[in-house]
Amino acid sequence: MGKKRERIKPNVFKRLIFAFKDGSYATRLSFLVMGFGQIARGQLAKGFSYFLFQVLFALYMIFFGGRYVGHLFSGNLGSRLSGERWNESLQIFEKVSGDNSFLILLYGVVSLVLFCVFLTVWAMNVFGSYENDARLERGQELSTFRADLRSLINEKFYIPLLLPPFLGLLVFTVMPLIFMVLIAFTNYDYAHMPPGKLFDWVGFKNFQAMFSLADGAGFALVFLRVLVWTFVWAFFATFTNYFLGLVIAMLIHKKGIKLKALWRTLFVVAIAVPQFVTLLLMQKILDGDGILNKILSTNILWLADQRYFSLLPRTMIILVNIWIGVPYTLLMCSGILLNVPTDYYEAARIDGASAPQIFFKITLPYMMHITAPYLITQFVGNINNFNVIWLLTGGGPVDNVYYGGGSQAQSTDLLVTWLYRLTTDQNPKYNVASVIGIVIFVISAALSLITFNRASATKSEDAFQ
Amino acid sequence: MTGNFLKIRKHASNLLVYAILVTLGILWVLPIGYLVYTAFRVTPSTGIINTLFPDDLRLGFSNFSRLFGDTLFSQWLGNTMIVAISSCALTTAFILMVSYALSRLRFRLRRPIMNVLLVLGMFPGFMSMIAVYFILKAMGLTNSLLALVLVYSGSAALSYYICTGFFDTVPRAMEEAAILDGASQPIVFWKIILPMAKPIIVYTVLTSFISPWCDFIFVNTIINDRNKYTVALGLYKMINAEKNSFNDNFTVFCAGALVVGAIIVTLFMSMQKYYVEGITAGAVKG
C-alpha cells in the first residue's frame, strides 16, 4: 500500500511548486532560462537544445504569433479594412492591407497551440533539472545524453511511437477543431467575409438563434425537425441493416443450404463497388426521368416528392441504405454466428424448443449481447452518414416549411448535410454550421458514453442471459 | 411415417430459403449488372438508357476507349494510386504505433490520452474541413497530392481502437520472455507483436487503401486542378459538373466505375478472410 502511494505522483502544478521551493539555484533559474539547470550540470547537448527551443519560440512570438494571440484575447478580431487610402503627401490612392479576421483567428489558434507545446517542454526542462538536484542529493550520477536516448527505446518507447501520429492529429484535427468551435461564437457568415468584411465575437448569439423562435429569426423549429429526422433515420438505418443482415446470414448458414460461399459473394459484390458509385447509380435510377420510372412507365418523383413531409424520398433513402449496408452486417453476422456456442443449441433441442423459440431465446440475445457496442457505434455513424443522403437527395426536396429564417435546411437533411450545405453554399453561414457541429458532438459524445459504460458493465459480468 | 413427413417439411423449408436467397440475390446483383451492362454498351448518341430494352443492344469497348482517350481518367488513376499507397502506408504505421503504445505500454498519460482521442473522434470531420483547407493553404499545400495524403492520414490516430482491441488479446508471456532476454521495445514491437497481428494489419491496410478511392468531399475542397483529381472526384464531376454532363457521360462514368470497382474487388477477394476477421474483431471489441 505504502509503495503504491509513492508511485502516484502529485499533479504538475504541485510538482512545479516543489521544484521552485526545494530546487537548487540552477533549477530555479531554469524557470526563466530554459536549459540552465542542465548546462550548469554539464549536460550541454540537452541544455542547449532547451535553450535554443526557448529562443526560437520567443522569436516566433515576437515577430509573428504574439500579435495574433493579443488579438484573440483583446476581444476583437481586427478592425482595419483593407482597401485604398488617400495619401495626402503623394496625392495618390495607396493600397493598404487591412486585418483579416479569419487569419487572425487561425494564426491565433496556431499560436495558442504552440504555446501549449512550449509550456510542456518548459515543464520538462524544469523537472529535468529538479531530477538532477535529487540525483545529486542522493549521490547518484546524472543520466547522460546517451542514456536518455536509450530510454526512448525502452521504458519511454511510447514517446517516439506517439509523437508522429499526434503531430498529425494536432495539425489536422485539434487545431481545426478549436478553430471551428471558436467560429460558433462569431458572426462569420456570408455578410462578414474577410478580407472584404470582418467578423467579430458575438458570444452565445448563434446558440440563442439556433434554439429560439424569436420572430422568424430563430431556427428552433427547423432544428427540431432536422434533429427528429436525423434520429428516425439513424434508428431505421441501423436496425433494418442489422436485422436483415442477421436474417440473411442465418438463411445462408441454415443446415442443408448449399453453395454458401456463392450466396455470400453475391451480396459482398455490392461492397466492392465504391459507395459513391452505387449511390450515384441509384440516384440516377430513381430520378424523375430515371430507368425505374421508364420501366414502370410511371412519373413518380421517388427522391423528390414533397407530400406528407417527403415521406417517399425518406422511405427510398432507407431502402437504398439497406441495399448499401446489409452486405456489411451480413459479413459480420456470419463471422459471429459461426461462434455461437453449440451447447446452447443442443440443450434447447433436447428441451424440444421450436425454431422461432431458438431464434428469439438464443441466437438473437447472443447476437445482441455481443454486438451491442457495434450497434451503438453504427447508430452514431448513421447520425453522421453524409454520403447516403447527400448523393441520393442532396438533402432535398426543398420544402418551404423548412426554410424558416434562412436556415437553408431541406427536408431530408441530417444535421451533417445541413452543416455541409451551410459551409459550401453560395451564402455560407460558418457560424451556424459550427453550432450544428457542436450539437452533433454533444449527441455523439452522449451516445458513446452510454456505449462505454455498457461495455465496462458487461466486462465485469462476462456472461449473457 | 413421421420421418418422411419431417423430411418433406425440411425440403420445403429449404426450398423456401433458396427462393428468398435467389430473390434477394437478384435484387442485390441487378444494379451492379446494370452498371456493368451500361459500361459495355455502345452508344450511338447519348449514353442514357431510357427503356428497359433499348433498340440498340450492341456491346463493345468504346466507353473504355473514350474513358482513357478523352478524359483525364488515366491521370486520375495514377493520382489515386499515389495517394492511396502513401496514405495507406502512413495511416497503417500511425494506427499501429498508437495502438501498440496504448495497448502494450504503460505510462502516466495513457488513460487521459485514450479519453482525449475518444472525445476528438466524436466531432464530425466536415466541421473542420474549411479550417483544414486554410491550414493547408497557409502551408502552401493546396492543389497538391501531398495535402491529400496528409489529410487522410493526419487523423489516423483516432481510429486506434480496433487494433488496440486486437493487441490486448495477444498474451504477454512472449514479450516478457523476450525482454528478459535483453530485447529492446522496438524489437519486441517489430519481431513479436507485429507478426501476430497480421489479420488486423491487413484489415487496416485494406480499409485505409480503399478510402481515398471513395472520398470525393475532401478532394473537392482541397483540389481545384483537374489534373490533380482522384478518380472519385473525377467520376463525380464527370456526371455532375454541368447540366448535360449526365446524359453525355453516363456510359463513360459506368466504365470508369467498373475499373475502380475491379481494382477494389481484386483486393477484397484476395483478402476477404482478413477483412471479415477485422470487422468481427472491431464489432466484438467495440
Rounded to a whole number of angstroms, the distance from the CA of A34 to the nearest CA of chain B is: 24
High-pLDDT (> 90) share of chain A, %: 14
Interchain CB distance below 8 Å, B282 and A268: no
Check residue A216 and give its pLDDT. Answer: 61
> What SS3 class is residue A92?
strand
High-pLDDT (> 90) share of chain B, %: 14
A44-60 helix and A101-137 helix, angle to the nearest 10 degrees: 160
Check residue A145 and give its pLDDT. Answer: 80
Check residue B224 and give its pLDDT. Answer: 86
Check residue B109 and give its pLDDT. Answer: 84
- Residue B283, φ and ψ in degrees, nearest 5: -70, -45
Helix, strand, coil % (nearest 5) of chain A? 70, 5, 25
- Please give the grid coordinates belonging to residue A262: 456463392
Could you tell me if B50 lies within 8 Å of chain A, comparing CB atoms?
yes
Q: Is the model's pLDDT at A222 over the cut of 90?
A: no
Interchain CB distance below 8 Å, B98 and A336: no
Average pLDDT over residues B86-90: 94
Tens-digit pLDDT profile for residues B58-69? 777 888 888 888
Task: Report DSSP state, residue A143.
Answer: P
CA A386/CA A392 separation, integer angstroms: 10
Check residue A85 and give its pLDDT. Answer: 66
Q: What ipTM was predicted for this assembly?
A: 0.81
Which among A157, A371, A416 has the least Cβ separation from residue B185?
A157
- Please give the grid coordinates belonging to residue A459: 466486462
Rounded to a whole number of angstroms, the distance from the CA of A206 to the nearest CA of chain B is: 16
Which among B97, B264, B277 has the least Cβ separation from residue A161?
B97
Length of chain A measured in residues? 465
Interchain CB distance below 8 Å, B131 and A271: no
Interchain CB distance below 8 Å, A445 and B132: no
Q: Is the model's pLDDT at A28 over the cut of 80?
A: yes
Q: Which span out of A51-60, A82-91, A212-221, A285-294 was modeled with the highest average pLDDT?
A: A51-60
Least-confidence region, from A85-89, A152-156, B20-24? A85-89
Please list, in sequence order, all residues whose beta carbon lies within 8 angstroms of the beta carbon of residue B280, skipping any fewer than 6 positions away: A332, A335, A336
Could you tell me if B209 lies within 8 Å of chain A, comparing CB atoms?
no
Could you tell me if B20 lies within 8 Å of chain A, comparing CB atoms?
yes
- Residue A39, φ and ψ in degrees, nearest 5: -65, -40
Q: What are the chain B neighbours of A295 within 8 Å (beta carbons)?
A: 52
- Amino acid at site A461: E
Contact A331, A374 (CB under 8 A): no
Mutate to test the interface with B, among A163, A276, A378, A434 (most CBs of B within 10 A): A276
**In whole angstroms, how far apart are CA A158 and each of A119, A458, B100, B165?**
20, 30, 9, 18
Q: Is the model's pLDDT at A4 over the cut of 50?
A: no
Domain borders along chain A are 2-192, 214-461
Check residue B134 and give its pLDDT. Answer: 81
Interchain CB distance below 8 Å, A165 and B94: yes
Q: Which residue has the higher pLDDT, A154 or A51?
A: A51
Which among A153, A271, A370 has the least Cβ separation from residue B284?
A370
The continuous run of DSSP H or E covering B156 comes out as none
Which among B32, B232, B280 has the least Cβ separation from residue A276?
B232
Task: Report DSSP state, residue A84.
Answer: E
Q: Which residue has the cell 490516430?
A: B157
Check residue B285 and give its pLDDT. Answer: 43
- Please give the grid coordinates belonging to residue A388: 447516403
CA B218/CA B145 separation, integer angstroms: 12
Locate the chain A residue with the closest alpha carbon to B267. Answer: A272
Least-confidence region, from A115-124, B154-163, B211-220, B276-285? B276-285
Q: Is the model's pLDDT at A119 over the cut of 90?
A: yes
Check residue A462 and give its pLDDT. Answer: 42
Q: Is the model's pLDDT at A83 over the cut of 70?
A: no
CA A178/CA A165 separation, integer angstroms: 18
- Please give the grid coordinates belonging to residue A314: 425518406
The continuous run of DSSP H or E covering A250 comes out as helix A220-253
* B73-97 per-residue burial string, b: 16 or more CB within 10 A, e: under 16: beebbebbbbbbebbbebbbebbbb
Locate the chain B residue with the closest alpha carbon to A445. Answer: B122
Q: What are the chain A neighbours of B239 within 8 Å (beta carbons)?
A: 280, 284
- Please give the grid coordinates belonging to residue A366: 447472443
Interchain CB distance below 8 Å, A373 and B283: yes
CA-nearest of A66, A72, A73, A77 to A99 is A77
Task: Read off the pLDDT band of A401 (50, 70, 90).
Answer: low
Q: What is the CA radius of gyration of chain A?
A: 31
Q: What are the chain B neighbours of A393 within 8 Å (beta carbons)?
A: none
CA A45/CA B29 separation, integer angstroms: 66
Interchain CB distance below 8 Å, A282 and B31: yes
Check residue B135 and give its pLDDT. Answer: 85
Check residue A349 and give its pLDDT. Answer: 81
Q: What are the chain B neighbours of A294 within 8 Å (beta carbons)?
A: 50-52
Interchain CB distance below 8 Å, B151 and A274: no
CA A316/CA A310 separation, integer angstroms: 10
Instruction: Reply yes or no on domain A214-461 having CATH 1.10.3720.10.
Output: yes
Please list, in sequence order, all residues whose beta carbon lies within 8 angstroms of the beta carbon of residue B121, skipping any fewer than 6 positions away: B158, B159
Q: What are the chain A neighbours of B18 within 8 Å (beta carbons)?
A: 257
> What SS3 class is residue B198?
helix
Locate the chain B residue with the closest alpha carbon to A290. Answer: B50
DSSP string of B81-143, one letter each residue: HHHHHHHHHHHHHHHHHHHHHHHH---TTHHHHHHHHHHHTTS-GGGGHHHHHHHHHHTT-TT
Which among B50, B52, B286 has the least Cβ separation from residue A455?
B286
Interchain CB distance below 8 Å, A371 and B283: yes
Mutate to test the interface with A, among B122, B180, B217 (most CBs of A within 10 A): B122
Least-confidence region, from A24-33, A241-250, A370-379, A452-461? A452-461
Q: Is the model's pLDDT at B76 over the cut of 50?
A: yes
CA A233/CA B4 separation, integer angstroms: 48
Most distant pair of Cα atoms in chain B: their distance: 83
Angle at B199 between CA B197 and CA B205, to 5 degrees: 100
Check residue B3 and give its pLDDT. Answer: 63
Task: Read off the pLDDT band of A196 (50, 70, 90).
Answer: confident
Mutate to test the interface with A, among B16, B126, B248, B274 (most CBs of A within 10 A): B126
Q: Is the model's pLDDT at B103 over the cut of 70?
A: yes
DSSP string of A259-311, one letter each residue: -HHHHHHHHHHHHHS-HHHHHHHHHHHHSTTSHHHHHHT----TTT--HHHHH
Could you tell me if B49 lies within 8 Å of chain A, comparing CB atoms?
yes
Query: In chain B, where does DSSP find H-type helix?
Result: 2-40, 62-70, 73-104, 110-120, 129-138, 145-154, 161-169, 173-180, 185-187, 194-196, 198-214, 217-222, 231-240, 245-285
Supply the pTM of this predicted model: 0.82
**In whole angstroms, how far apart are CA B24 and each of A144, A181, A302, B40, B172?**
69, 45, 21, 25, 46
Distance of CA B262 to the CA centre of its chain: 13
Q: Is the model's pLDDT at A2 over the cut of 50?
A: no
CA B72/CA B234 separation, integer angstroms: 8
Q: Which span out of A32-46, A124-138, A224-238 was modeled with the highest average pLDDT?
A: A224-238
CA A183/CA A24 separation, integer angstroms: 46
Backbone dihedral region for residue B143 (phi beyond 0: left; psi -120 to 50: alpha; all else: beta): left
Interchain CB distance below 8 Å, B113 and A274: no
Q: Which span out of A86-90, A179-183, A226-230, A265-269 was modeled with the highest average pLDDT?
A: A226-230
Query: In A98-219, where does DSSP find H-type helix?
Result: 101-137, 145-151, 158-169, 175-183, 205-211
CA B12/CA A418 separation, integer angstroms: 50
Please list, in sequence order, all residues whose beta carbon lies within 8 angstroms of the beta carbon of residue B75, skipping any fewer than 6 positions away: B227, B229
> What SS3 class is residue B193?
helix
Least-confidence region, from A113-117, B83-87, B159-163? B159-163
Check residue B157 and give its pLDDT. Answer: 86
A260-272 helix and A220-253 helix, angle to the nearest 10 degrees: 150
Interchain CB distance below 8 Å, B126 and A102: no
Q: Tell me whether residue B179 is exposed, middle or buried, using C-beta atoms within 10 angstroms of its C-beta: 0 to 12, 13 to 18, 19 or more.
A: middle
Check residue B278 and give its pLDDT. Answer: 64
- Please give the grid coordinates belonging to residue B282: 472491431
CA B128/CA A437 separation, integer angstroms: 9
Rounded to a whole number of angstroms, the distance from the CA of B7 to the nearest CA of chain A is: 12
Rounded to a whole number of angstroms, the distance from the CA of B27 to the nearest CA of chain A is: 9
> What SS3 class is residue A86?
strand
CA-nearest of B137, B129, B30 to A173 is B129
Averaged pLDDT score across all residues of chain B: 82
Could you tell me if B276 lies within 8 Å of chain A, comparing CB atoms?
yes
Check residue B47 and give its pLDDT. Answer: 47
Check residue A53 and give its pLDDT. Answer: 93
Locate the chain B residue with the closest alpha carbon to A103. Answer: B134
Interchain CB distance below 8 Å, A328 and B153: no
Beta bridge partners of A87: A92
Backbone dihedral region for residue A443 (phi beyond 0: left; psi -120 to 50: alpha; all else: beta): alpha
CA A135/CA B7 separation, integer angstroms: 83
Beta bridge partners of A84: A95
Domains plus CATH for chain B?
Answer: 71-285 (1.10.3720.10)
Q: Which residue has the higher pLDDT, B154 or B4?
A: B154
CA A338/CA A340 separation, integer angstroms: 6
Average pLDDT over residues B111-123: 83
CA A8/CA B118 separation, integer angstroms: 24
Which among A107, A437, A445 has the least Cβ separation from residue B127?
A437
Tens-digit pLDDT profile for residues A244-283? 998 898 888 887 778 888 888 888 777 778 888 888 888 8
- Please give the grid coordinates belonging to residue B132: 483544414
Backbone dihedral region for residue A188 (phi beyond 0: left; psi -120 to 50: alpha; all else: beta): beta
Q: What are the chain A neighbours of B279 within 8 Å (beta carbons)?
A: 328, 331-332, 335
Q: What are the chain A neighbours of B232 within 8 Å (beta carbons)?
A: 274, 276
Q: What are the chain B neighbours of A9 within 8 Å (beta carbons)?
A: 108
Check residue A356 and give its pLDDT. Answer: 81
Rounded to a whole number of angstroms, the distance from the CA of B200 to the nearest CA of chain A is: 15
Could you tell me if B180 lies within 8 Å of chain A, comparing CB atoms?
no
Q: What are the chain B neighbours of A166 within 8 Å (beta carbons)?
A: 157
Locate the chain A residue with the closest alpha carbon to B19. Answer: A251
Tens-digit pLDDT profile for residues A306-365? 788 788 999 999 999 999 889 888 888 887 777 777 787 888 888 888 878 888 888 888
Measured in Å, how far apart are chain B's first and last C-alpha atoms? Answer: 50
- Please give the grid coordinates belonging to residue A440: 452533433
